[in-house]
Chain A
Amino acid sequence: MRMASAIKRVVFSLLLSLSFLGYVILVRFGARPLEVTEPSHSSFGNALRNWFSSGRWPEKTPQVPVYADGEYTGSEIYAYYGMLRVKAIVKSGKIDDVQVLEFPSDRATSIRVNAYAVPLLRTEAIQAQTSEVDIVSGATQTSAAFKESLASALALAIRQ
């Protein structure tokens, strides 16, 4: 009797640990980091359900998730040397493209990382210079409308 009770306890604790593991997996991988439409069913959820109802391991474990077509912008994620945000484009249920919308480039370390793709070049904040010049190089005539529009856009940007 004691033996049977011990086995029961072991089975119960095993079940408990496995359910917890299942829950952890669900939380970890079932979450939507890219706001991609959730598959019509959760494969891990199904796996657990199958196991509980049939009393044996399911034959198929994780299934390929089904995504709805569209574009999905991810959250801003801290990527060690700065913030990163990507956009996923899903076509025919598959991820067709992932575009990097934000890439860390504001710190010394990230500049070093990015330098593999773009050479490290000197930057400076522009400031009006007062010396006399012979000629001015610019993009043709001045457009007051464009300047105004840009100024209003910048004003909005500051308020946000």
Chain B
Amino acid sequence: MGMPITVDVVDPMATAAHIDQVFAFFESVDERFSPFKETSELTRLNHGLITADGISQDMREILQLAEETRRQTDGYFDVRLPNGTIDTCGIVKGWAIQRAVSMLETYGYQNFFVDAGGDIQVKGVNHEGRAWSVGIQNPFTPLQTVKRVHLAHNEGIATSGTYVRGQHIYDPYRPSRGITEIVSLTVIGPSVFDADRFATAAFAMGKKGIAFIERLKGFEAYLIDAQGIATMTSAFEMYIPAYAERF
């Protein structure tokens, strides 16, 4: 997937072999779903070298999840590009993190996080035995963070934005028009898989995206526009430490 991946396991019995298996899984995902590799299953599917019947079980699952997400987001999430090819990047990352989390759970670990390119699933508590603290990257100054959230209930967090790799998200209803009014949208939800796909779709909606997340039960969002003004959903504050400490 060409992105930094971090796996941090707090549990003292963690073994290097288990962590290596998780990384090997991410590598296999990249081999199969990279749109940049000539040999990947995705590229072969796009070039018509394999038919719909010949795809792997994982590819079938991802295409089904993508279709389900397309319907849930009024078409704003769509793995089919205007030129007819399929790009599964918008869904594979969250799916892969979720699979990695399942692997770590199978190994018996209870306190860890998995971070793939800024999309994160946390589990349990951090090295100090407290809630995981996650900073939201400043879209204008990526070495800074602009908000700190505390994740204490195994949440997933994902950020979609235009500030990296140029504009990699477009509005499927107006493909020629880039999304410039908002620069970053972070979604917190019960799983990184859902947070990731809904962040991607909500980002494609532009400023309306925050209203879309507001209507989604169990999800909160923090949107940053091109002027550096942030808008948050009504219960986002419960993740902000100063607010949480009041209760």
B-binding residues in A (CB < 8 A): 117-119, 121-129, 131-143, 145-147, 150
In angstroms, Cα B136 to Cα A136, docked, is: 6
Query: Contact check: which of B117, B157, B166, B228 meets A126 at CB < 8 Å?
Result: B228
- 13 A-B pairs, CB-CB below 8 angstroms? A118-B210, A122-B234, A124-B229, A126-B229, A127-B146, A137-B134, A137-B136, A137-B159, A139-B118, A140-B117, A140-B118, A143-B163, A143-B165
Residue of A nearest to B236 (CB): A122
**A139 touching B161 in the complex, CB below 8 Å, given contacts A126-B146, A128-B145, A134-B126:** yes
> What residues of A have a CB within 8 angstroms of the CB of B122 in the complex?
135
> What residues of A have a CB within 8 angstroms of the CB of B126 in the complex?
134
Secondary structure at the A interface, as helix, strand, loop or mixed, is loop
**A137 touching B157 in the complex, CB below 8 Å, given contacts A118-B211, A146-B164:** yes
A139 pairs with B228, CB closer than 8 A: no
B residues 15-53 in Cβ contact with A at 8 Å: none
Most buried by B among A121, A137, A138: A137
> What residues of A have a CB within 8 angstroms of the CB of B157 in the complex?
137
**A146 touching B163 in the complex, CB below 8 Å, given contacts A128-B146, A139-B184:** yes
**A137 touching B118 in the complex, CB below 8 Å, given contacts A119-B214, A121-B233:** yes
> What residues of B have a CB within 8 angstroms of the CB of A125 in the complex?
228-230
How many residue pairs bridge A and B at CB < 8 Å? 139
Residue of A nearest to B1 (CB): A140
In angstroms, Cα B139 to Cα A147, docked, is: 9
A136 pairs with B233, CB closer than 8 A: no
> What residues of B have a CB within 8 angstroms of the CB of A132 in the complex?
133
Query: B93: shortest Cβ distance to chain A, in Å?
Result: 9
In angstroms, Cα B136 to Cα A145, docked, is: 21
Residue of A nearest to B183 (CB): A150
Residue of A nearest to B232 (CB): A122
In angstroms, Cα B244 to Cα A18, docked, is: 73
